[in-house]
Structure formats: structure tokens, C-alpha cells
Amino acid sequence: MSINPKDFRNTVGLFATGITVITTVDENGKAIGLTANSFTSVSLNPPIILVCIDRAVTSFSAFQTAGEFAVNILGSEQTELSNKFATSGDEKWLGVEFETWTGRAPILLNCLANIECQTREIHESGDHIIITGEVKSLASKDGNPLLYWRGQYAQLKST
């Protein structure tokens, strides 16, 4: 049975996620980043996470070659940052504050959490790659997450 892409998107879109901005650097050390909701934790010991990256995105080769990346988990008030990093072009870094930790991957300020990783494996899978990273450092703060569900941003509803 062949699966209609729209049906596929609508169905997997029922799985609610958080939103991250995944960052790294290119071969010249230039900051690279994109919005991604494909983030998942994989292993506790050692601590490993994964993210899936579309072969079609401009940032693709930087993530494939850098050997390191960071996952910045967005808070409920960071919709604008998510939209910025979901649009190609250098403007995405305008006014964005970041620092670096042990490596070169940009750590975005004021996020709910930041996770710095060393790239472990890159698996080819359809039109994406699955990139796993071993966690080298992390930080978090209190606050609500920015959520994504059925193709739209969502907020936690307290009961």
C-alpha cells in the first residue's frame, strides 16, 4: 500500500513534540542553525540523543562534517526564534545571543535547556539523516516548553 505524503504528515503530526534549534558551525567557523522537532533522547548510559536532518536544508553539510552540535530546547515564549530558524538565510542570526562552551557549537541564550554534543553516528534514512550525539555538557532553567502539534505551535495547559 502506498502512503499518501499528506496523510503521513497529518498522522505523525498528532505526536506532540517540543521545539529545538539545532546548531553547529561550518568549515569556516560560521554559526549554523535550524529549527527541529525531531529531537529524541536515545541512551542514558552513555547519554546519547538524536535529531533527523533533511538532506535538502542548506545546513545539511555542516551537520554532516562538523563533528559536534548543540540542541537548544525552546521555551513557551520563543516562537519568534523558532520561526527565525525555520527560514533559510543569514538573517536568522541577526540579534540572536549565544555563547560557546567546550566546543564551537553556538549555545543560544535564554532557552529552556541547552545540550552540547559530540557527533557519534550518522545514519542514512530516506530523505533525512539521523545524527546521534553524545552529550558533553548541559544546562536548564525553569519554565514552560514551546510545543508543536498538528502543524502548529501549542502551549501547555495547566489543569
Q: For binding to ligand FMN (CB under 6 A), which residues are involved?
A: 19, 34-38, 52-54, 57-59, 86-88, 148
Find the shortest distance in angstroms from Cβ 1 to ligand FMN: 26
Work out how close the CB of 87 gets to ligand FMN at its nearest, in angstroms, rounded to a whole number: 5
Cα 49 from Cα 69, distance rounded (Å): 11
Q: From CA 148, how far away is CA 17, in angstroms rounded?
A: 5
Cβ distance 20 to 74 under 8 Å? yes
Q: How far is the CB of 20 from ligand FMN (least distance, A)?
A: 8
Q: Cβ-count burial of 45 within 10 angstroms (0-12 exposed, 13-18 middle, 19+ buried)?
A: exposed
Give the shortest CB-45-to-ligand FMN separation in angstroms: 25
DSSP state of 67: S
- By C-beta, is 1 or 12 nearer to ligand FMN? 12
Question: Nearer Cβ to ligand FMN, position 87 or 144?
Answer: 87
The sign of the dihedral angle between the CA atoms of 110, 111, 117, 119 is negative
- Burial tier of 154 (Cβ tally within 10 Å: 0-12, 13-18, 19+): middle
26 versus 134: smaller Cβ distance to ligand FMN: 26
